[in-house]
Amino acid sequence: MIAAAPSSTRLPIRLGMVGGGSGAFIGAVHRIAARLDDEFRLVAGALSSTPSRAQASAEALGLARSYDDFAAMARGEARRKDGIEAVAIVTPNHMHAGPAIEFLKRGIHVICDKPLTATMAEAKKLAKVAERSSALFILTHNYTGYPMVRQARAMVAAGDLGRLRLVQVEYVQDWLTEAAEKAGSKQAEWRTDPARSGAGGATGDIGTHAYNLAGFVSGLTPEALAADLSSFVPGRALDDNAHVLLRYPGGAKGMLWASQVAPGNENGLRLRVYGEKGGLEWAQEDPNRLWFTPFGEPKRLITRNGAGAGPEAARVSRIPPGHPEGYLEAFANIYAEAARAIRAHRTGDAPPAGTLYPTLADGLAGMRFVAACVQSSKRNAAWVAL
């Protein structure tokens, strides 16, 4: 008996990649995330700005097609009947806008690493192209993919905390405590270079993650901020530590701390949200647990897929409670959400209910956050409207 041909809506989504060649951390993460749920198949790439390295990286991955640059890739894939449907852009910040624009112009969906671009001018140009394109734009603020982050968001929206008063978020690391950019670290070199990273150092690299997470869970958008940015390592051109105060409409207040010079911290992303009726606490390094404290009552532990966890967390969980899910699974959830949207786009339908992923609007918000932080710090931490 011959099996029926698979539905076109279930065929793997043909994926390309710009950047992410040999030695690149985030490219490998994107590839794992894309294939975890068998939704994507990587078939083409421009994996390096150096043609020989791009070719070698493609051969190592078994890619069907390798290109010397992203422009050639965009042109070539758009002409093919079996060309890519989506592209992952995993380059340093200054190389986000160019590739994204080229692929969007050709109707190819874009899955882009954050922050959106290196400069606000690039972000605005990209936004104009995206508005005219029929293709989707997905930004990989991957921490929004954690099941217990989705749980926290749902509880805030349901009013379990009551009217919000305080939002505390931090993302602290220690890997730039010394001048790693002068010791041969490729990752440190571009992240501390204004020409490639943009105006923000720690602010753009991890501060945007913290800012996005706080807004995702709380549902609040700050109306103003006051930022004190520091470059503690001598000679470093960009900030490696940021203290930011946030004011929200309605009177809620927030604090954001982003640091890459805090010894003893690895990837310490932590969020606390407090309202009139209770509070929530979540930490990325223990992501399967969410603490909920109704005012005047003992703390309650909610675990991923455990008792008390709701459908918002369950739909992005893969395994039973007690088996840990972490960073890679959360990243894969963004790709899974993107796949749902892309499959719906194939047929002209709306994405399935609950489909949720960071968009261009989130990227623009992150860019405004970085710009406001830099402006505020230059003015001695003066309040700046967002």
3 state SS for 213-229? HHHHHHCCCCCEEEEEE
N-terminal to C-terminal alpha carbon distance within the chain: 63
Rg (CA), the chain: 21
pLDDT tens, position by position, 261-307: 999 999 999 999 999 999 999 999 999 999 999 999 999 999 999 99
**DSSP per position, 328-360:** HHHHHHHHHHHHHHHHHHHHTPPPPTT-----H
pLDDT the model gives residue 8: 52
pLDDT tier, 3 (very low <50, low <70, confident <90, very high otherwise): very low
pTM of the model: 0.95
Number of Cβ within 10 Å of residue 207's Cβ equals 31
Helix (H, G, I), strand (E, B) or coil at 24: coil
pLDDT at 9 over 90: no
Are 227 and 199 a contacting pair, CB within 8 Å?
Answer: no
Share above pLDDT 90 across residues of the chain, in percent, rounded to a whole number: 94
pLDDT tens, position by position, 161-200: 999 999 999 999 999 999 999 999 999 999 999 999 999 9
Name beta bridge partners: 89.
Answer: 18, 112
With 0-12 / 13-18 / 19 or more C-beta atoms within 10 angstroms meaning exposed / middle / buried, residue 69 is middle
CA distance 188 to 355: 35
pLDDT tier, 78 (very low <50, low <70, confident <90, very high otherwise): very high
